[in-house]
Amino acid sequence: MAKLWGGRFKLESSALLDEFNASITFDQKLWRYDILGSKTHARMLGRIGVLDSSEIALIESGLDKIASEIEQGRFVFSIEQEDIHMAIESALIERIGDVGKKLHTARSRNDQVALDFRMYVLDHSVLIADKILSLMTMLLALARKHTHTLMPGMTHLQHAQPINLGFHLVAWCESLRRDVERLESLHTRNNLMPLGSGALAGTPYNNDREWISKQLGFSAPTRNAMDSVSDRDFALDLLYALAMLGMHISRIAEELVLWSSAEFGFMRLSDEYATGSSIMPQKKNPDVPELLRGKSGRLYGNLMRLLVVMKSLPLAYNKDTQEDKEAVFDSVDSTLLSLEILHAVCESASFDKKAMLKACQKGHLSATDLADFLVRECGVPFREAHHITGRIVAYAESSGCDVSELSERELVSELTKLTPSLESTFAKSSISKRLTLLASMQARTSLGGTASKATSTQISSLNAWAKKARKKLPELKIEAKVENE
């Protein structure tokens, strides 16, 4: 097949070249953006007197026809057309004839692909942010129900202090909030319009770049043509944001794996989102959280992949950059799917409050509260209070119970043995009440602390933030269902 760029060649390109050079097998994903960009470019050419209104109408209807053929799966993509840009342009020429040949005036594939790909990246940053916000909203609703559900808070994966489940879920949401903020900021930074940069040096036509920028919902045209065609920071920003998000998702997933194990027993995954074993009939496996954890591998890999492709590229456009797309498509697709299934898994899981409470009774979780009591009400310096409490923990261990289960009588008598001078203070203090697990959790009222009230405050403010964030999500360049292609 003759190439659109074939004028200076005597021989036809080899099939091997076509196979190696082509990006159409994957960049067809960009078709909606390519058509939108071309229609807008054609109208701009009308404004600057390059095309007349009947030519524009012909081009637009030709592009619309191609769009519906692609949509209905009737359009044949072939490797000889190299990429989505040339596939659509040559289809246009085939359908409307010579007028189609005017479309590529005052643009190059370099600024064309920079535009298409940037629009894809920007739109998908919004779609992903939107999905994170739904996940957060669901998790916060779940958190609301569990502000009194005790569970062991851990450090080093060892029981540390009692918290409530709602508080733990809010902690997840805080990391997700940063992910949304990263997506918002990359959108703001990169919402600049590259078309009209030409091959690298601008065009001799008076391209109305401001107008195109407005039409396509950008905040302004890019500022330097050479940078515009070679910059892929926008894609790297997204890959970085998704690598971070993937890291957060994998940490959440790891906790789902732990919590659903027999050792923890804090939660049960719904049958709908669990899997069995081909040999052990009794098994219920957490494949979904494990895969969510594993996806971080490809998300980090994709970031590395594009960083390496871009490293040392001289200005301006180089074909190396064609290797940018699959990494981004892969990260976007796996992230959208991951967010959806993480949402479903968390929403359908059931929590075992009794098991969580039982776990709290192991590990002397309220020991810090005894030390705090000695500091605040007995004037003991913290380091000394820490030591005395350690002795009480040893006493509880030797009598086979948890500090939270010691009786008032035992506490007073053991503490008196350690600091006889404080006997009268101990006697009138009702110490055991402060050492229950619930009291320990409720005592942490500091800003951001786990007390039910403090947790509720966090839930409310995160909810309010999420609502606002959703309202100010940028408009999509293409409202259609771009997501699952």
Residues 6-25 close enough to bind ligand ARG by CB under 6 A? 23
Stretch that binds ligand ARG, among 53-61, 318-326, 382-390, 407-415 (CB under 6 A): 318-326
For tokens 């786990």, name the residue: 450
State the Rg of the chain over Cα: 31
Residue 423: CB atoms within 10 Å: 13
Closest CB 252 distance from ligand ARG, rounded Å: 35
Stretch that binds ligand ARG, among 56-64, 106-114, 156-164, 305-313 (CB under 6 A): 106-114
**Residue among 391, 361, 357, 395 nearest 374 (CA):** 391
One residue of 321, 368, 404, 458 binding ligand ARG per CB under 6 A? 321
One residue of 18, 34, 83, 402 binding ligand ARG per CB under 6 A? 83
Tokens of 277: 């074993």
Q: Can you tell me whether residue 392 is helix, strand or coil?
A: helix
Tokens of 382: 């913290």
One residue of 167, 240, 273, 317 binding ligand ARG per CB under 6 A? 317
Decide whether 326 or 485 has the Cβ nearer to ligand ARG. 326
Clarify whether 156 is annotated catalytic.
yes
Closest CB 120 distance from ligand ARG, rounded Å: 12
Decide whether 23 or 250 has the Cβ nearer to ligand ARG. 23
Closest CB 458 distance from ligand ARG, rounded Å: 45
| The one-letter amino acid at 150 | L
Decide whether 26 or 211 has the Cβ nearer to ligand ARG. 26
Measured CA to CA in angstroms, residue 266 lies from 252, 271, 354, 449 at distances of: 14, 16, 8, 22
- Spell out, one character per residue from 435 to 474, where the chain touches ligand ARG: x when CB under 6 A holds, - when not: ----------------------------------------
Stretch that binds ligand ARG, among 91-99, 213-221, 317-325, 396-404 (CB under 6 A): 317-325
Measured CA to CA in angstroms, residue 314 lies from 227, 229, 307 at distances of: 11, 12, 14
Closest CB 21 distance from ligand ARG, rounded Å: 9
> In which element (H, E) is residue 247 found?
helix 233-259
Decide whether 90 or 110 has the Cβ nearer to ligand ARG. 110
> Residue 161 interacts with ligand ARG (CB under 6 A)?
no
Closest CB 243 distance from ligand ARG, rounded Å: 22
Cβ neighbourhood burial of 367 (10 Å; 0-12, 13-18, 19+): buried
Closest CB 1 distance from ligand ARG, rounded Å: 17
Decide whether 109 or 293 has the Cβ nearer to ligand ARG. 109
Decide whether 320 or 408 has the Cβ nearer to ligand ARG. 320
Stretch that binds ligand ARG, among 107-115, 128-136, 408-416, 438-446 (CB under 6 A): 107-115
Decide whether 322 or 458 has the Cβ nearer to ligand ARG. 322
DSSP label of 476: P
List CB contacts of 295: < 8 A, sequence separation 6 or more: 246, 249, 250, 334, 338
Name the catalytic one among 53, 54, 156, 424: 156
Closest CB 83 distance from ligand ARG, rounded Å: 4
Tokens of 378: 């007995």
Residue 50: CB atoms within 10 Å: 18
Closest CB 116 distance from ligand ARG, rounded Å: 9
> Residue 322 interacts with ligand ARG (CB under 6 A)?
yes
| The one-letter amino acid at 258 | L
Decide whether 23 or 450 has the Cβ nearer to ligand ARG. 23
Report the alpha-carbon distance of residue 12 to residue 37 in Å, rounded.
Answer: 30
Degrees, nearest 5: CA angle 38-41-42: 85
For tokens 């900021």, name the residue: 185
Decide whether 83 or 231 has the Cβ nearer to ligand ARG. 83
Report the alpha-carbon distance of residue 432 to residue 426 in Å, rounded.
Answer: 11
Residues 109-128 close enough to bind ligand ARG by CB under 6 A? 109-110, 113
Closest CB 334 distance from ligand ARG, rounded Å: 21
Report the alpha-carbon distance of residue 14 to residue 282 in Å, rounded.
Answer: 57
- Spell out, one character per residue from 23 to 62, where the chain touches ligand ARG: x when CB under 6 A holds, - when not: x---x-----------------------------------
Dihedral sign, Cα of residue 22, residue 28, residue 29, residue 31: positive
CB 389 within 8 A of CB 370: yes
Phi, psi of 101 (to 5 degrees): -70, -10
Report the residue closest to ligand ARG, judged by CB.
Answer: 83
Tokens of 449: 């602390």
Report the alpha-carbon distance of residue 272 to residue 438 in Å, rounded.
Answer: 34
Residues 387-406 close enough to bind ligand ARG by CB under 6 A? none
Q: Can you tell me whether residue 158 is helix, strand or coil?
A: strand
Decide whether 48 or 226 has the Cβ nearer to ligand ARG. 226
Name the catalytic one among 277, 407, 413, 460: 277
CB 313 within 8 A of CB 323: no
Q: By CB under 6 A, how many residues form the interface with ligand ARG?
A: 10
> Under the rule (CB under 6 A), what is the footprint of ligand ARG?
23, 27, 83, 109-110, 113, 317, 319, 321-322
- Please identify every residue annotated as catalytic: 156, 277
